[in-house]
Amino acid sequence: MTKPTFSLTLRMISFIFINLDRFRNCEKTWGKFFYCPYCLVHDKIATVEPQTRNSLAPSLLGLHPSFGFGDRLGLATPGHILATQSGQLLPVFAQQSVREMDRTNRTPLEVMSTAQEAIRTSGWQGIWGADADHLKTETDVINLANAGFTFFTIDPSEFVNNAADNLVQNQLKKALDEVVKSQAFESIGQIEDLYLGKGIEVSNDLTLDFKDREKLYRAVVKYGRAIAYAEKMSGWITEATSGTDFEIEVSVDETDTPTTPIEHLFIGMELKRREVQCVSLAPRFVGQFEKAIDYKGDLGLFESTLAQHVAIARWCGPYKISVHSGSDKFSIYPIIGRVCGNLLHVKTAGTSYLEALRVVARRNPEAFLEIIKFSLESFDTDRATYHISADPNRVDNPENLNHKEREAEFLDQDDGRQIMHVTFGSVLAIGKMPDSQPFKEIILETLSTNSDLHNQLLNEHLGHHIRLLSYG
């Protein structure tokens, strides 16, 4: 036992001294250390050659640009592996939210094992991540940690006060008192001592301040309880992982109004003060990030505010900016890649499911027609948890279309794509053919017997995502 321990120690010492100048010049300090141990972790990952790693074990991705591939059916990873080769983004092959697993009747262990089996079969030797997405409870954390996930996305959205921006003075004061009463802060005095009147030079081009008491109070009311809950969840993650390495992302993107730069600065500073070490943070951006379709909004305004978010992430962390509902946002991918640089993470999920349906559309058009009809019936119920603008009245009757027209209407046009996207849970859980054969069974059979086409479509579609991000 002595010899391996001594060998490991030598490697660690050697690594530190080789990179001593980098550590000495790091702008971040943590506790009593003269270098940044968080940067050490990320730099260490960056220097490990893929062939020296166990490719079947997920890794920390650190401050590298990365891309999350959601796989709701468990058969998409081979296509995702192909798409990964289109750019320089590190892949997250195992990624599924608890909500998605509930709707598809999958377990965390199943999500992990199917990704690992595809990696083993393909011979993939690179670094990859595993994202326990949108965690909300301690039970969620424990279950995903036990399955071997290493990237934990904290979702405290239930504690965000979406009404904060519109509260009048007496309502704002009452809401602030409620935040303090929840023990998110010790007192209003503590909040003011920490922030009021302070100016922060975030970068050469950006200085923000907390001189406006009302703006500070609104930021605290909007995000204070969510930040406190993120801190609590960070503790649960630490306990559940039992001393093994992990990464944390905090998501505040599922809110009604955009996260302003000053709100982001408040969130970042509070997370740092509470010692929640994030590898990425997902703000709510300006414009509309609807599922399965391109960005809606002013491209110039998006770019200018994104640059501010990146500057804040660099100053507060550094941590990556995470783009959720990130699939099919082709108009802004070059902007995201250019502005974020290495501080970039993008998440996709439903777009891979739609490519699976495209295989069904081409190889089993009768089943695809039945899935469309069922999805139209389920849409009003299933849309409740999504921010989308799809209108079933704007799509053509699928029974009046030929096979190619049906694919184009429901997999290429915005309204049809969103209808098929948000109804995945009902389709996979309870949907059936007229002869009672479950849709899920038919979809899986079709994908298994047409794996080459499935992989080709995933490679083309998601490879396009990665190429545009990498180009930017």
pLDDT tens-digit profile of 310-363? 999 999 999 999 999 999 999 999 999 999 999 999 999 999 999 999 999 999
Give the count of alpha carbons within 13 A of 153, CB side only.
31
Report the SS3 class of residue 280. Answer: strand
Report the SS3 class of residue 68. Answer: strand
Cut 0.75: pTM above it: yes
Please write the tens of the pLDDT for every residue from 75-128. 999 999 999 999 999 999 999 999 999 999 999 999 999 999 999 999 999 999
Region class of 328: left (phi > 0), else alpha (psi between -120 and 50), else beta: left
Please write the tens of the pLDDT for every residue from 123-144. 999 999 999 999 999 999 999 9
Please write the tens of the pLDDT for every residue from 8-55. 333 333 333 333 433 333 443 333 333 333 343 333 333 333 333 557
Rounded Cα distance between 105 and 177, Å, is 41
Rounded Cα distance between 417 and 414, Å, is 5
Please report which helix (H) or strand (E) contains residue 453, including its range: helix 451-471
Two structure tokens written together for 81: 């592996």
- The candidate with the shortest Cα–Cα distance to 72, out of 250, 294, 292, is 292
Please write the tens of the pLDDT for every residue from 150-204. 999 999 999 999 999 999 999 999 999 999 999 999 999 999 999 999 999 999 9
Rounded Cα distance between 102 and 98, Å, is 6
What's 296's DSSP letter? Answer: B
Please tell me the predicted confidence (pLDDT) of residue 55.
76
Q: Which of 71, 100, 131, 133 is catalytic?
A: 133
Q: What are the sequence ranges of the domains in the chain?
A: 157-348, 352-458
Rounded Cα distance between 320 and 42, Å, is 12
Please, which pLDDT band fits residue 208 given cuts at 50, 70 and 90? very high
Please report which helix (H) or strand (E) contains residue 317, including its range: none
- The candidate with the shortest Cα–Cα distance to 469, out of 355, 366, 334, is 334
Q: Is 177 a catalytic residue?
A: no
Query: Poorest-confidence range of 58-62, 139-143, 204-208, 255-259?
Result: 255-259
Two structure tokens written together for 100: 């998605």
Q: Is 138 a catalytic residue?
A: no
Rounded Cα distance between 425 and 333, Å, is 28
Q: Which of 131, 231, 247, 249 is catalytic?
A: 249
Q: What are phi and psi of 162, to 5 degrees?
A: -70, -15
Amino acid at 199: G
